[in-house]
Amino acid sequence: MKTVFSGIQPSGELHVGNYIGAIDNWVKMQEQYRCIYCVVDYHAITQDYTVKDMSPRVRDMALDILALGVDPEKAILFVQSAVPEHTELAWIFNAVTGHGDLERMTQFKDKAEHQPENINAGLFSYPVLQAADILLYKAELVPVGADQVQHLELARRIARSFNHRWGKVFPECEPKLTETPKVLGLDGKQKMSKSLGNHIPLTAIEEKPLRKLLGKMVTDEKRVTREDPGNPDDCNVYSFHKMFSTEDDRAWVWQGCTTAGIGCVDCKGRLAQRMLERFAPYRERRAELLAHPGRVDEILRAGADKARAIAQRTMAEVRGKLGLWR
Ligand code: ADP
C-alpha cells in the first residue's frame, strides 16, 4: 500500500483554496492509502508569529482538519515538533541540497518579498525540511496545491542525491493534485491566500458572512450593467460554481449570464446556497469537536506516537547508511 504524506502550517484559518486544492484529497485518499498528515509548526516559525498564539493555532488547525473529514481511525494526524526526527533528517538533507536549487524556489522569493525585514535561513531552507517531512515516512504521494509542485521536484532531487551518495533509502515522491489545484481569490486574479487577504475562511461559510464575502467577489469585468450579457468563462464566480454546484445550476448560470437573464447577485446567491450545503457536515463536526475540548489533543498525541515509531525506524536506517558513530 502506498504511503501518503502532507502537511499544513498552523498559520490561521483554513480557507476554500486549502480545502479545494489539497485537504479534499487528504480526506479522499485515507480510504485507499496509508495516510500521514501533519500540522507543521517548525515551518511556521520561519515567519513572524505571536508566541502565545502558537498552541491554540495548532489545535485549531487540527480541529478544522478533523472537521473536514480526516478520520484518526484511518489516517495519522500529528504535530511536526512532536517528532524531532523531522529536523534531524532535514540537517542531513542540507548536505545533499544545492544552494542554487533553493535560490530558484519561487515561494522563497515571494515570502522574502513579503517580509524583507526577516529573511532568515529557515525560510531559505524550508523546502529541505519539507522534503524531510515527506521522506521520513517514505511517502510516495503528496496531496498539495499547484504552488507546491516545485518543492516536490526538489524533494525528488534530494532523495536521488541521498540515494546516490549513501545508498538507496528513499522513494521518489510525486504531487497528487485535485481537479482544481489553483483556486483564485476574491479578486479573481491571484491565488487565494491568507497572506494576500483575498480568501474565504471556512469559518466564514455561514449564511450572513458568506453572502457578504461573495458580494465582494470580482465577476466578469466586461459585464458593466445588469443588461450586459456576461461570459462565464471570464468569471471567477463561475469557476466556483464548477467546484460546488450541480450541472443544472451551471446550465442555469450559463444560460442566464450569457443572455443577461440573471444578474451577478442571483448567480452568487445560488453559489452561496451550494457552498453552505457542502460545508454543513463540516460545521456540524466542528461544533461537536469544540464541545469536547481535549479530544483534539488526545488525537494529536496518539498520532505523534504512531508517526514517531515510523520516523525512528527510518532514522536508524539513515544513520547506518551515513556511517555515524553509535
Ligand atoms: P496559504 O497560501 O493560504 O498560506 P498554505 O501555504 O498553508 O496556504 O497551503 C496549504 C495547502 O493548501 C498546500 O497544499 C497548498 O498547495 C494548498 N493551497 C493553498 N492555497 C491554495 C489555492 N489558492 N489553491 C489551491 N491550493 C492551495
Please check whether residues 233 and 299 belong to one and the same domain. Answer: no
- What is the rounded average pLDDT for all residues in the chain? 96
Percentage above 90 pLDDT, the chain = 93
Beta bridge partners of 37: 6, 77
Any atom of ligand 1 within 6 Å of the Cβ of 193: yes
Average pLDDT of the segment spanning 74-101: 98
pLDDT at 114: 83
| Ligand 1 atom closest to 147 (CA) | 16
| 199-253 confidence digits (pLDDT tens) | 999 999 999 999 999 999 999 999 889 899 999 999 999 999 999 999 999 999 9
pLDDT at residue 286 above 90? yes
21 CA to middle of ligand 1, Å?
7
CA angle 109, 122, 84 (to 5 degrees): 140
Cell triple for residue 169?
Answer: 533509502
Domain housing 310: 3-184+293-322
pTM to 2 decimal places: 0.95
- In sequence order, the 6+-apart residues with CB closer than 8 A to the CB of 56 are none
pLDDT at 125: 97
| Ligand 1 atom closest to 184 (CA) | 23
In the set 74, 194, 306, 321, the catalytic residue is 194
d(CA 16, CA 159) in angstroms, rounded, equals: 32
Specify the number of domains making up the chain.
Answer: 2
Looking up residue 220, the CATH number of its domain turns out to be 1.10.240.10
pLDDT at 11: 83
Please check whether residues 274 and 297 belong to one and the same domain. Answer: no
226 CA to middle of ligand 1, Å?
34
pLDDT at residue 143 above 90? yes
Q: Which residue do the cell numbers 445550476 mark?
A: 249
208 noted as active-site residue: no
Whose C-alpha lies nearest to ligand 1, atom 12?
A: 18
- In sequence order, the 6+-apart residues with CB closer than 8 A to the CB of 219 are 188, 230, 235, 236, 237, 264, 267
111 noted as active-site residue: yes
pLDDT at residue 115 above 90? no
Query: Residue 49 falls within a domain, yes or no?
Result: yes
Please check whether residues 210 and 135 belong to one and the same domain. Answer: no
Average pLDDT of the segment spanning 68-97: 98
Query: Residue 16 falls within a domain, yes or no?
Result: yes
